[in-house]
Homo-oligomer: A and B are copies of this chain.
Amino acid sequence: MPQTTRAQQRERTRRTLLDVSRELFASQGYAAVGLAEIVEAADVTKGALYHHFASKAALFRAVLTEVQEEVGERVAAAAEERKDPWERLAAGCQEFITAATHPDIQRIMLIDGPAVLGWHEWRAMDESSSARHLAEELGDLVERGVIAPQPVIPLAHLLSGAMNEAALWLAASGSPDDLADTRAALSRMLGALRVH
């Protein structure tokens, strides 16, 4: 009887690598952390790392995927608590700001993501997580006549970019007023979309 099954061992190593990398990437940035540092912290060797991931960038991609899924779930959960479609959008946006304000999530998701993987791939990944929710909610609101009929994709990009930048700024800002002010400004922005 083996002490640990192969699948167990495999998953265990992979998880450790992902967790350790996420911590290091988040705290120091992708470029500043070497593979040596990662494998040491994970208590494995480079051979193990390359057995699980094709490259350093591939490891980062896996980490980024998890981070984005996590944020996406938080946003979706916040939205689904509300019944009113309009409030779903607002709640989702505010939750995104909250989640993306954590410095760890930021560095990986908003700073290094586009630079390491290229903007196109980053956008595609974002699309399949949090950004899609946004576009869907907006489309829903257009159909219901809550906001004026208009192309929903450009609007989603404008809002997404606004929230990303706001989150980055908020994480660096010391004043607690800034969070409230930003939320208010975002609310005004969203509110302006409604048909009066």
Contact = CB atoms under 8 A, between A and B. Distances in A.
Interface string A166-196: 1011001000011001101110110111000
Contacts of A119: 106, 111, 168, 172
A134 to B, nearest CB: 12
A175 to B, nearest CB: 10
A152 B185 CA distance: 9
B166 A158 contact: yes
Given A112-B115, A161-B161, A191-B192, 10 more contacts: A111-B114, A111-B115, A115-B116, A119-B172, A150-B181, A154-B169, A154-B185, A161-B162, A165-B165, A189-B192
B172 A158 contact: no
Interface of A: 29-31, 106, 111-112, 114-116, 118-120, 123, 148, 150-151, 153-155, 157-166, 168-169, 172, 177-178, 181-182, 184-186, 188-189, 191-193
Given A31-B31, A151-B185, A185-B151, A166 B157 contact: yes
Copies in the assembly, this chain = 2
A191 B148 CA distance: 14
A165 B188 CA distance: 20
Contact of A161 (B112, B116, B123, B163): B163
A29 B112 CA distance: 13
B115 A31 contact: yes
Contact of A150 (B165, B168, B185): B185
A191 B182 CA distance: 18
Contacts of A159: 162
